[in-house]
Every structure is written in C-alpha cells, then in structure tokens.
Amino acid sequence: MLPKPIQQLIDEFAQLPSVGPRQAARFVFYLLNQPKEEIEKFAKKLFILKKIKYCAFCNRAMEATATHLCEICKNTNRERTAICIVEKDTDIESIEKTKRYNGIYYVIGTEDENRQLARLRNLIERIKKSRLRQGSGGQAKKDLNEIIIATDATTEGETIALYSARCLDELKKIYPQLKITRLGRGLSTGSELEYMDEDTLTNALLGRK
C-alpha cells in the first residue's frame, strides 16, 4: 500500500486524458524526487489555472490580466467575415500554424453535448443580434459570409459537425450569402486536428466545402 497522499495524487493524474494508473504513478514519483522548490513551482503553475479567464466572444482561455477579448478577437486585422468553429483551444493553435486562415474562431468545447449545444445557440443568438461586419467609415461593409465547421474527423466530431450545420442553417435567413463549410475530407477517419501535420491541415482547409 502506498501512503495515502501519494495514492490520492496518483488517482488525480490517472484522471487526465490518456493517462493510465501506471503512468500516473510515474509522474507522481518523478515529482516526489524533485527538489522542494521545483515541486512548489509546479504547484504554483497548476494553481494559476484557477485564474484563467475565457474570451467573451470565442471562449478561448486567456490570461487573467487580459481584457475581455482574446488576442485574435481583438485584432482588427482579422476578418469578421469568417468564423471557424473548433472543439478546443489547441485546434486554434493548429489552424493558426497553417497561416491559411485570417478569420475569427469559436470554441464549442469537448466536455459534453449539452454544453456544446448551449455554446452553439449562444453563437447563433449573438450573430443574429449584432451583424458581424468587416470595414468601417466610408468603406463598403462586408457581412459574415462563411462559417467553417472544423471539428475532428472522429465519431464525436462528426456528430457535432452535423448538428452544428443544421443549427447554423437558420442564419442564412439573415445572411443569404452565408456558406457553411467543413474541412476537406482528405483527412482519414479518426484523425484529430491537434495530431494533424501542417500540410494535411492546410489541404483540409483549402479543400473545405
């Protein structure tokens, strides 16, 4: 029997995605063998998670010191004519790396279906209430013209994608030119955005329809 605090920590680590009890134990014993200052540093970084805020528009995690919008949503050079729906923050990182997309994002999360649906409804309501437009002053304004559904090519991802497309369809009444697209299916089934190499993801983006 392991001492209770060690076992409890192992159990915590074992709850992380893709971590089994053996690996969890390896993590804990690794930490245990670190100098006390290192353990403290690690714990402090974990503690900071409590202070993370979420972007008021796209739901992306951001530093507590930031304003209510994240760097991407705040950036006036990003086009407001396209929104890319992703499951998680790390998917944004992957798409950003391809440098083939200059619109904004919306994170629907992976936690549970109800929460994803609530976020989707939230997005639809917001788009309805305030028209998303590009351009200011004398410039001709451009309306939102594309929503890209960039979910994983997994069973869960497919389900959300189909459901999202159905929900988003009602926006076509307000934005008749709106296209609702999905990533090109050069992707093999089962592939998750975060494990995709840049070329594959670039092709998927360019081949969206």
Binding segment for Zn ion among 8-16, 42-50, 57-65, 135-143 (CB under 5 A)? 57-65
- Under a CB-based contact definition with an 8 Å cutoff, are residues 101 and 201 in contact? no
CB of 57 to Zn ion, least distance (A): 5
Q: Does 127 bind Zn ion (CB under 5 A)?
A: no
CB of 98 to Zn ion, least distance (A): 19
Binding segment for Zn ion among 51-59, 90-98, 127-135, 178-186 (CB under 5 A)? 51-59
Q: Which is nearer to Zn ion, 106 or 175 (CB)?
A: 106
Residue in 55, 123, 127, 147 binding Zn ion, rule: CB under 5 A: 55
Q: Which is nearer to Zn ion, 70 or 147 (CB)?
A: 70
Task: Say if residue 136 is exposed, middle or buried (CB neighbours under 10 Å; 0-12, 13-18, 19+).
Answer: exposed
The DSSP line for 69-115 is S-HHHH-TTS-SSEEEEESSHHHHHHHHHHT---SEEEE--SS-HHH
CB of 2 to Zn ion, least distance (A): 43
Q: Which is nearer to Zn ion, 61 or 206 (CB)?
A: 61
**CA angle 57–71–202, rounded 5-degree value:** 90
User: How many other CB atoms sit within 10 Å of the CB of residue 133?
Assistant: 13
Distance (Å, rounded) from C-alpha 157 to C-alpha 180?
16
Binding segment for Zn ion among 52-60, 114-122, 155-163, 178-186 (CB under 5 A)? 52-60
Pick out residues in 63-102 that bind Zn ion (CB under 5 A). 70, 73
What values do phi and psi take at 126, rounded to 5?
-65, -40
Residue in 28, 58, 147, 204 binding Zn ion, rule: CB under 5 A: 58
Task: Say if residue 161 is exposed, middle or buried (CB neighbours under 10 Å; 0-12, 13-18, 19+).
Answer: buried
Structure tokens at 57: 């528009």
Q: Which is nearer to Zn ion, 10 or 62 (CB)?
A: 62
Of 37, 15, 34, 36, whose CA–CA distance to 24 is shortest? 15
CB of 66 to Zn ion, least distance (A): 10
CB of 60 to Zn ion, least distance (A): 5
Interacting residues toward Zn ion by CB under 5 A: 55, 57-58, 60, 70, 73
